[in-house]
Amino acid sequence: MGPLRLAHADGYPAKPVQLVVPFPPGGAVDIVGRTISKKLSDRLGQPIVVENKAGAGSVVGAAYVANAPADGYTLLISSGSTFTVNPALNAKLPYDPVKSYEPVGLVARVPLILLAHRDVPVNNLRQLIAAVQRTPDKFSYGSFGNGTTGHFAAELTWSAAGIKLMHVPYRGSAPAMADLMGGQIPFTIDTVAAALPQLKAGKIKAIAVTGATRATQLPDVPTVAESGFTGFSADSWLAVVAPRGLPAEAKAKLHKALADTMADAEIRSKLIAAGLEPSYATGDA
C-alpha cells in the first residue's frame, strides 16, 4: 500500500491552488472567483486560495500568472478586458493574451450596466443623451478602470449616441460605486453583479444594460439596443486560465473540476442571484 499512497500524494494537485483575481475585491471577477472556489476545492481535493492582485486594469495580476510555473498551482480568473481590450490598447503588455495562457474554461457572461446617481434627473438613455447635448461639458462618468470592458462599452455607447463624457477611471468597482453614491460623479458603468446591491437598496438608478439581452436580475431595465440603437451589444465574459504548458494530468483534472463546479445547481443559482449569467464552455471549445 505504501507505493500506492505515494503515487497518489505525488499526483496533481498535491498542495493548495492559487486563484488570482487581477481586480480589487467587490467586483464581478472577485465575486465569481470566490463563489466557485469552495466547490472547485471540493472537486480537486485541495484548498483554492483566492488572491487579489490588482493594478493597471488587470495587467499586474495577469502578468503574475503568465510568469508563474506551468504546474497547475497558479490560475487566473479574469474578464475579456485582460485578453482583448488590454492588448488592443497596449502593444507592450508583459504577457501575450494567446501564447502566455492555457484556457481552462469560460465560466460566465457578465452584463454591464449604465448607472446614475439617484438625484440626477435622468431615468433612461434617451434622457441622458439629451442632458449631455444640452450641457456637453458638464457630465463625466466613472468606470472600474482604464482599458476595462466597462470603459470600452461606455465609449461605444457614447460614440453610437454622438456624445462625449469625460472618463474618470477608478481602481475597481467599489471606489467607483462609492463616488457615484456620494455624488462625486453623475454616471458610471459597471457590472450588474457589482451594482445589484445598491440598485436594490435604491441608492443608484439603472439607465440601460449594454448587452444584447436584458439582465436576468433586472428584467425591467432596457438594453441600449432597445433604447434606439438597434444591434448594439457590448458586455463581458469571465474565464479561468493557467500558464501555458500545463501537464496533461493537471489540465484534465482542472477541466473536469471546473466543468463539475459550473454544472452545480447551487453555484449557478448563486451566480444568477449575484447578477451574472453562468455560461460554461470548455477551454478546448
**Mind listing the pLDDT tens digit for each residue in 117-128?**
999 999 999 999
CA-based torsion, 98, 212, 56, 31: positive or negative: negative
283 confidence band (pLDDT: 50, 70, 90):
low
pLDDT at residue 4, rounded to an integer: 38
DSSP 3-state of 113 = strand
Q: Which residues pair with 19 in a beta bridge?
A: 50, 75
Q: Domain segments of the chain: what residues?
A: 2-109+237-282, 112-227
Predicted local distance difference test score (pLDDT) of residue 160 = 97
Looking at residues 26-45, what average pLDDT do you find?
95
Q: Full-prediction pTM beyond 0.85? A: no
Q: In CATH terms, is domain 112-227 a member of 3.40.190.10?
A: yes
Q: Which pLDDT value is given to residue 56?
A: 87
pLDDT of residue 45: 98
Confidence of residue 9 (pLDDT cuts 50, 70, 90): very low
Q: What's domain 2-109+237-282's superfamily in CATH? A: Bordetella uptake gene, domain 1 (3.40.190.150)
Same CATH topology for 2-109+237-282 and 112-227: the answer is yes
Q: What is the mean pLDDT of residues 188-214?
A: 96
147 has pLDDT over 90: no
Q: Report d(CA 140, CA 126) in Å as an integer.
A: 16
Average pLDDT over residues 28-44: 96
Determine the pLDDT at residue 88: 87
pLDDT at 284: 60
**147 CB contacts (<8 Å, ≥6 apart)?**
57, 81, 85, 86, 89, 90
How far apart are alpha carbons 102 and 236 in whole angstroms?
A: 20
